[in-house]
Chain A
């Protein structure tokens, strides 16, 4: 192949990024079987490497791959039919002329997303399936991101694919009666991927940027497929705005930098502008929800020139709304921080008091960090130092632990 090899390799790589998931989605829907879809797609890409090198890249690589994959799938079905007890088991599409196979694009991909995020699958399985089949990551990449042996993850995927096909999970967009709950589940999976990347709670590295970017990619896809859904827009805006701070959250040594100490010139202005625009457009449609509120809070942080100049009263009010809409102890911790900035440390401590007393978040580092900071500002140095110690113990992330140790030492020094 020599010099001809490179453009074909480039076209293949491009086609993989652009078309692989769409091919799998269309085949999965027609076959009702993710494993068969994956196998046929793999065969089509193998064939492409051979045929494109010989004949050149086709004018419509996606259509070529789709048609070829479908033909491979039909061949496989014919081979299986020889051993099947019931020949009618071959899906209805089997009799169609292969040249007419085209993706209905969005609907197929959306159907795949809903299948991968089905609530009958364990949460970590939904995450793995979505990253593998919607985002197109390899098993190895996903295993690395979650610090799992590749074989373990591969096994999990095999079992999941079998459960989907044998238990009757459909590659379809759910009906109106299930729509809200199922879409909530999809957004939750995407946000989980993002948070896994954002917090990287068990790893040495603070930001697993790849996972954040995959989650944003998934968020963009869902937003493109469901442009009128305000909470999907809210989720995308939230992730973009959070991600805009990625460069500011880490010092050159890999240490964590808390929001108060971040160099705001390192925040990504393009991401902030994009996230804010998406949020504004969503809010204008008046379909409020938790993701939009969180995005609005993040947007206020992004718009502020400094920690002190932040619109804390507005953020405190938004956390109040969020606490009513989807109450949780974690929201209360964040609200305490905002109220502590808006109305003084004692007001913040008053909100934190019931959370601390409930014991619900004893192992949650940010609770103790917020507590420590409020105590420090209230002039209670000894209590603050003890709270810093609790925060440090609760944090799994090494970079954050180092930062907290530094804060603790600083607090102890000012005693």
Chain B
């Protein structure tokens, strides 16, 4: 099954800061790659650079900022393919930020009609 491991935290690893956190993520990414479970992973820019888009009555409305103003925000994600939730939870618990932040584990839906359009 495919799972998205969503990375939530207040202060998420800017490349230049905390060397220990940086090493932790490098190690994690390498381990996931070597285990053959990794489908993709991305780190997002900060919510202060976010632009939120809504279309109401044909009008495009832009907001300078994130959809939700929260203390812990989405900083990135890993997409993995593992046999079951237990394994996904193990990989989530290994994420370096989980000692202070949160990893949200969500299974990915398959077989949806729109996905057939992707071929």
Binding site for B on A (CB under 8 A): 84-86, 89, 118, 120, 166-170, 174, 178
Extra A-B contacts (5), CB below 8 Å, given A168-B3, A174-B86: A85-B111, A85-B113, A166-B107, A168-B88, A178-B86
A170 with B107: CB separation less than 8 A: no
Please give, as numbers and ranges, the residues of chain B lying within 8 Å of A167 by CB-CB distance. 85, 105-107
In Å, the complex CA distance between A178 and B31 comes to 20
For B74-89 the 0/1 string (1 means CB < 8 A from A) is 0000000001111011
State which of B84, B86, B107, B116 has its C-beta within 8 Å of the C-beta of A85.
Answer: B116
Which interface residue of A85, A89, A118, A169 has the most chain B CB atoms within 10 A? A85
Nearest chain B CB to A395 CB, angstrom units: 37
Please give, as numbers and ranges, the residues of chain A lying within 8 Å of B3 by CB-CB distance. 168
Nearest chain A CB to B100 CB, angstrom units: 21
Please give, as numbers and ranges, the residues of chain B lying within 8 Å of A174 by CB-CB distance. 86
Please give, as numbers and ranges, the residues of chain A lying within 8 Å of B84 by CB-CB distance. 168-170
B26 within 8 A of A: no
In Å, the complex CA distance between A84 and B111 comes to 8
Please give, as numbers and ranges, the residues of chain A lying within 8 Å of B85 by CB-CB distance. 118, 120, 167-170
Nearest chain A CB to B91 CB, angstrom units: 13
B61 within 8 A of A: no
In Å, the complex CA distance between A169 and B112 comes to 21
Which interface residue of B1, B107, B109, B112 has the most chain A CB atoms within 10 A? B107
B110 within 8 A of A: yes
In Å, the complex CA distance between A84 and B116 comes to 11
A-B contact pairs, 8 of them (CB 8 A): A89-B111, A118-B85, A120-B85, A167-B85, A168-B107, A170-B83, A170-B85, A178-B86
Closest chain A residue to B85, Cβ basis: A168
Nearest chain B CB to A111 CB, angstrom units: 12
In Å, the complex CA distance between A89 and B3 comes to 18
Please give, as numbers and ranges, the residues of chain A lying within 8 Å of B111 by CB-CB distance. 84-86, 89
In Å, the complex CA distance between A174 and B90 comes to 13
Closest chain A residue to B107, Cβ basis: A167
In Å, the complex CA distance between A247 and B80 comes to 55
In Å, the complex CA distance between A407 and B47 comes to 61
B110 with A86: CB separation less than 8 A: yes
Nearest chain A CB to B82 CB, angstrom units: 8
Closest chain B residue to A87, Cβ basis: B111
Please give, as numbers and ranges, the residues of chain A lying within 8 Å of B113 by CB-CB distance. 85
In Å, the complex CA distance between A178 and B112 comes to 33
In Å, the complex CA distance between A84 and B113 comes to 9
In Å, the complex CA distance between A190 and B113 comes to 42
Please give, as numbers and ranges, the residues of chain A lying within 8 Å of B105 by CB-CB distance. 167
In Å, the complex CA distance between A86 and B88 comes to 24
Closest chain A residue to B2, Cβ basis: A168
In Å, the complex CA distance between A328 and B74 comes to 36
For B26-51 the 0/1 string (1 means CB < 8 A from A) is 00000000000000000000000000
Nearest chain A CB to B35 CB, angstrom units: 15
Closest chain A residue to B82, Cβ basis: A168
A168 with B1: CB separation less than 8 A: yes
B112 with A85: CB separation less than 8 A: yes
Nearest chain A CB to B86 CB, angstrom units: 6
Nearest chain B CB to A330 CB, angstrom units: 28
Give me the 5 closest cross-chain CB pairs, A-B, nearest first: A168-B85, A168-B1, A85-B111, A86-B111, A168-B84
In Å, the complex CA distance between A85 and B85 comes to 24
In Å, the complex CA distance between A89 and B1 comes to 12
Please give, as numbers and ranges, the residues of chain A lying within 8 Å of B106 by CB-CB distance. 167
Nearest chain B CB to A172 CB, angstrom units: 8
For B93-119 the 0/1 string (1 means CB < 8 A from A) is 000000000000111011111011000
Please give, as numbers and ranges, the residues of chain A lying within 8 Å of B1 by CB-CB distance. 168
Closest chain A residue to B87, Cβ basis: A168
